[in-house]
Amino acid sequence: MAELTKFRFAGGAQGFNWLPVFVAGEFGLFEKYGLDIEYKKMGGVALATKAVLEGEADLAITPPEGALSDYVAGGDLRIIAANAVRLPMSLVAKPAIAELAELKGAKIGTSSLTEGTAIYTQILLAEAGLSYPGDYEFELAGIHTTRWEALQAGTIDCAPQPAPWNFMAEREGYNLIGEVCEAIPEVIFTGLIGNAAWLAENQDTVARLLAALREAHDITNDPARTEEVLPIFQRITTKDDAELARKGLVYMRDMGMWPAGLAISDKALDASIDLMIRAGLLDESVRDKARGAFETRYLSTRAA
């Protein structure tokens, strides 16, 4: 048997959106394509982006904002594929808060001030007439699991929480006061981020990785294979709560969370760029340039 190619794969939490990656691992798809995966859990989305930028990881699955900012500044980061293109998140508030308008003066937990959840929250609250900074403040509360702990401890008033943690919070008496996907229907929630030089030097490895992930996305999205996928999803989400895990898996799958073929639509890419501009993280003048961060050629390359 040929020696497997070692591959370092970084992510912030490596949680629910990583389901197809873990499906690929458990179904033997990485080995099928000659890959030996080392998972590098960085503890934050910005740290996952940084790991690729500094060569600590080969690729990362992480929100695209860091790569987009780096690209327009003349950097080396590129987006080569989508991992997830929907935002299966609710804004979860403590029991005393019943609607978005009541978040004026609130402390909202997020995983970053410049990527992912912070941007989604700003857009959602802007539709309710609340602006940042001024009307509320962000608290760096970490990934979704630690945000849930902070909500329970009362150190934050609200936080964007993905399924199935949103449903778990609702069951515990917390209020779901806003749906992120209603404000942002399609976006690059998380993409595959790489360094341009590494990508160019390792095109065969990239092609094999994408081939494995394409098959994994097909398995994940197939309702007929729910019972095979559910234990994996449960292990990385609810642990011992099968009912809640099933609810979360079906919710995400049916909304089109994991795109077939890892495709990034123009709509999703433009939405990601637009969100950054609206949040003040990119200037309007670089809108067209930012689209160049998506290296389309890797999705069109097939493994040998």
- Reading the chain (304 residues) residue by residue, the pLDDT tens digits are 578 999 999 998 888 899 999 999 999 999 999 999 999 988 888 889 999 999 999 999 999 999 999 999 999 999 999 999 999 989 999 999 999 999 999 999 998 877 678 888 888 899 889 999 899 999 999 888 899 999 999 999 999 998 888 999 999 999 999 998 888 899 999 999 999 999 999 999 999 999 999 999 999 999 999 999 999 999 998 888 899 999 999 999 999 999 999 999 999 999 999 988 987 889 999 999 999 999 999 998 776 6
For the domain made up of 5-85+187-300, give the CATH fold: D-Maltodextrin-Binding Protein; domain 2 (3.40.190)
pLDDT at 237: 87
Q: Map 160-180 to HEC letters.
A: EEECCHHHHHHHCCCEEEEEH
Q: Does domain 89-183 have CATH number 3.40.190.10?
A: yes
Domain limits, the chain: 5-85+187-300, 89-183
- Three-state DSSP state, 82: strand
CA dist 208 and 226 (Å) reads 25
pLDDT digits (tens, 9 = 90+) for 20-73: 999 999 999 999 999 999 999 888 888 899 999 999 999 999 999 999 999 999
**8 Å CB contact between 229 and 23:** yes
Say yes or no: do domains 5-85+187-300 and 89-183 share a fold: yes
Cis omega (within 30 of 0) for bond into 133: yes
